[in-house]
Every structure is written in C-alpha cells, then in structure tokens.
Chains A and B, each alone.
Chain A
C-alpha cells in the first residue's frame, strides 16, 4: 500500500523481491546498495542466519528522485527463500506495491523456481492481491552459469503472462538496475491509474 504524504511531499512504495532460496534476491539488494549514492539510500538491514541465509527479510530504503515536486521513496524488501519460512514470506507481502520475481536459471533449480512462483501467487491471493493485476516483473538470474537453461524455456515456464523480464548476473550487476527501474515504473504508472 503506497503512502502519500502531502505534508512532506513524499510518495512511499514497497517493492518485494521474491524467489526460491539462493536465487540472488539479497545479492540484488546488495548490488543496488553498493552502487547507489549515499544521499539516495538508507542503511541496508539484513535479518539473516549465521550462515548469511535470509531469516526474515532484507530491507533497503531508496530515493529515486522527484516527480512533480514529490520525493519518490522505494522500500525494497526480500523474502526468505527457503520453503519452511512461508509464514514470514506472507507477512512481508503485506502492503506490497510491486513484486520482482527472481528465478534461478540453473536447470536443477527449475522445480524450486516453479514452486516459489506458485507460492508467490497463492500467498498474494491470501492477502487479497492478484499477481496478474499487480506491478510485477521477472528476473532470470545466474545467466552466466554453464548449466543455465535457455531463455525461451524459462519464459515459458516462469512467465506465462509475459510481464517484462530481464536476464541478470546479480553479483556483477547485470540486469539489476534494469529490473528495479522496470518495477518502479510499473508501480508509479499504477499509482497514476488509481488516482
């Protein structure tokens, strides 16, 4: 749920990165954090286990600039990808304005990809959202790995509605900002529609 503050002239939106365990959601946020000017970002918070697996969420507040005198602030969250953290994933989806689904391009992760996508759809439904109506983009991460599945196959399995999709190598930043820009744009466009 976006929050518009006419008093301080700010628009706040929440974007959630979703996907199976170890697909690179946290890596996306880390890259964005490392490459953003200090004045445009807040502290990145990672609630992770001792082995650096996301336990609850990562959080990165980001300012993208002004539209018509309103500061646009995006709060980026990741969910814990591991299957047994489903209760936490549901909580993080509350109030979401836009979703990035991060898929893992490796052949052996296809089952996990599909399971996570179905989980996203059903968890959104539980919160009263419809994935087909929400600002939503897909990222295929780990495109540089030798066991990566061809793009067309990924598209067919993970993007049946043909939303904007991006190939990525998150640690190198390939596709990371393109993905973020695309979802941010969709969120702002949706806000305009709702006005």
Chain B
C-alpha cells in the first residue's frame, strides 16, 4: 500500500498562518513549506514571481543530497543550509524530519533574524505536522475520495 500524506483544510490554514507570521516577522521575501519529496505545501510572500514547483523539487533534491552526505559522514542530518546570493539569500531547514522550510530574504533582513524567527516557526510547525500525520494514518477527518473512484473515472483521464 502506498503511504499517503493528506492535507486537510484545518492544518493547511494553520501552516499558512505560520508561513505568514514568519514572512512578516523575519522581513523575508517569501516563505515556502515543502514536503521532503518535493511537493509544495504552503507559501507566503512574493511567490507569484517564483516557479514554486521547480523550486520545491530542486530544494527537495538538494536536501536529499545533503542528507546523503550526512549519512556518509555518520551525521544524523544537517538540519539547515544557508546560501548567500548577491541579492537574495536562501535559508533551508528541516522540520520534524518531514518537511522543509525555506525562507528567501534580501538586504531588508539578516541571517540572524531569519534564524531566530525560523526557530519559533519550527516549533509551531512540528505541532501541526504531528496532527496531520496522525490524521493521514487514521484516515480521519474525511472519507477518502479514492474509495469512490471507478475504473471509468481513471480511464476517462486518458481519453484524449
């Protein structure tokens, strides 16, 4: 059976709120929450000018590669990464071993401020994620849409 991570309205709202707060409190340009497999989950700030899908996939690849390096060095993980650009800097941290929190910021903020605010947001996110994982595992909250899907529904996707 395929393991599923399910996002319900309530948790998405909470994650979005955490992103909004982090975006505001850290003076960031944008904040993204990405699952470790590269799916974008939530965002805040100037994301309309970003290719969020590509950014998410590459970030997840980057985090996976860093995780691979960590295990080669017998480290559990490198919990964070920071890339400094001329205009934009990119701060990445792993939250609850499940999701990736990305903060993009420019000269209006600083690494120290971002780190400080990320710490608070991380604690909040961990709490929401725990609930989300429990709900996904128990299938609570909502009847899965898949139980009603028929073979015809699937076939119809490919009628072109």
Which residues of B have CB within 8 Å of A88?
65, 68
Residue A175 at the chain B interface, CB threshold 8 Å: no
Residue B5 at the chain A interface, CB threshold 8 Å: yes
A68 touches B149 (CB 8 A): yes
Interface residues contributed by chain B, number (CB under 8 Å): 44
Q: How far is the CA of A87 from the CA of B61 in the complex (A)?
A: 12
Interface residues contributed by chain A, number (CB under 8 Å): 47
Q: How far is the CA of A189 from the CA of B1 in the complex (A)?
A: 11
B142 touches A6 (CB 8 A): yes
Q: How far is the CA of A64 from the CA of B156 in the complex (A)?
A: 10
Q: How far is the CA of A7 from the CA of B12 in the complex (A)?
A: 7
Q: How far is the CA of A14 from the CA of B64 in the complex (A)?
A: 15
A94 touches B57 (CB 8 A): no
Residue A192 at the chain B interface, CB threshold 8 Å: yes
Residue B145 at the chain A interface, CB threshold 8 Å: yes
Partner of B37, one of A3, A69, A195: A3
Main secondary structure of the interface of A (DSSP, over half): mixed
Residue of B with least CB distance to A61: B53
What is the distance, in angstroms, from B125's C-beta to the closest C-beta of chain A? 16
What is the distance, in angstroms, from B146's C-beta to the closest C-beta of chain A? 4
A residues contacting B by CB (< 8 A) are 1-8, 12, 14, 42-43, 45, 47, 56-57, 59, 61, 64-70, 72, 75, 87-88, 90-92, 94-95, 97, 181, 184-185, 187-195
